[in-house]
Amino acid sequence: MALGRQATQPRGANRHPAADGPRRVVARAVASAPQPATSTSHAQSGPVQGPIIMNGQVLHSLTAERLDVVRSLEDGYLQTQVVPLLKAVDKCWQPADFLPPSEDADFLDKVHELRQRAKNLPDDYLVVFVGDMITEEALPTYMTMLNTLDGVRDETGASQTPWAKWTREWTAEENRHGDVMNKYMYLTGRVNLKSIEVTIQNLIGSGMDPKTENNPYLGFLYTSFQERATKVCWGAGGWGRAGVERPRCKRPHVRGPRTALAGCLARAC
């Protein structure tokens, strides 16, 4: 495991800060903060020795005071303001709502209609669509990232804390986005799907290190800006610039990629 590459705080504490690289300056700044709240290894091994640095980032930089803040949000703010934002499953659209029903006798006719409409999509549109799709399909990476965060991670895989419940149900909602896009792309016949699938497998296998230090303060700042950026990007590339109508959640069969994309955007991705 990569933890084998951990490094403790560097020696030479009396050296001038300018002699150190940026990484060491960061390490000292965190070390001067209140005592770290959590760390499996250092909590058991006695006094804190200093920040653990891996791949240029400090691990477990959340302080005890800030952990208290994070946990204090559970029963009040999170339970009453955040968890209710999760839609009930029966109120959510599903990928099948936007695709030709494969159980129907005229399925192939509908696929033919879909392919006729898709054949005139410009290549640059497809490139953007596939890029967005790959991003959605890397969802396991994002759930993994959320579960690196101290104080909010899902400790069991089915934890009933509001933080864990949010992470799982957000992931479940998100899962529809890549699903509908992938199925649509497959049906259009406009892309080399195997190449895309190989890319997705490589992307998930490579993982992502957003340098958020297991710290929910940093983690949620990151995801807030990233989600906003995603919405702007998709709006510009999907229906915003194309003037596509917001979808109605009434099984609008094979209206084309923009409807499918708009379906994703309806949940702000």
Q: Which secondary structure element, helix H or strand E, spans residue 117, and what is its range? A: helix 107-118
Compose the 107-146 pattern: x for residues touching Fe ion by CB under 5 A, - for all others.
Answer: -----------------------------x----------
**CB-CB contact of 192 with 200 (8 Å):** no
Q: Which residue has the tokens 């005890």?
A: 64
Token pair 């303001």 is found at 81
Token duo for residue 124: 């640059």
190-198, 200-208, 241-249, 261-269 -> range binding Fe ion (CB under 5 A): 261-269
Residue nearest Fe ion (C-beta atom) = 269
Cβ proximity to Fe ion, 30 vs 138, nearer residue:
138
Q: Does residue 177 interact with Fe ion by CB under 5 A?
A: yes
Query: Which residues share a beta bridge with 205?
Result: none
- Size of interface with Fe ion, in residues (CB under 5 A): 4
Q: Which is nearer to Fe ion, 177 or 258 (CB)?
A: 177
Given the complex with Fe ion, which of 10 and 140 has the nearer CB atom?
Answer: 140
Of 65, 11, 10, which is closest to residue 35 (Cα–Cα)?
65
Nearer to Fe ion, 49 or 226 (CB): 226
At its nearest, how many Å lie between Fe ion and the CB of residue 269?
3
Indicate the helix (H) or strand (E) that contains 54: strand 52-54
Q: Name the token pair of 209.
A: 């290190």
Residues composing the chain: 269
Q: At its nearest, how many Å lie between Fe ion and the CB of residue 93?
A: 13
Cα(101)–Cα(78) distance, integer angstroms = 38
Q: Is 269 in the site for Fe ion (CB under 5 A)?
A: yes
176 touches Fe ion by CB under 5 A: no
Candidate segments 67-75, 171-179, 189-197, 239-247, binder of Fe ion by CB under 5 A: 171-179
CA distance 93 to 26: 45
Q: Could you list the residues that contact Fe ion (CB under 5 A)?
A: 136, 174, 177, 269
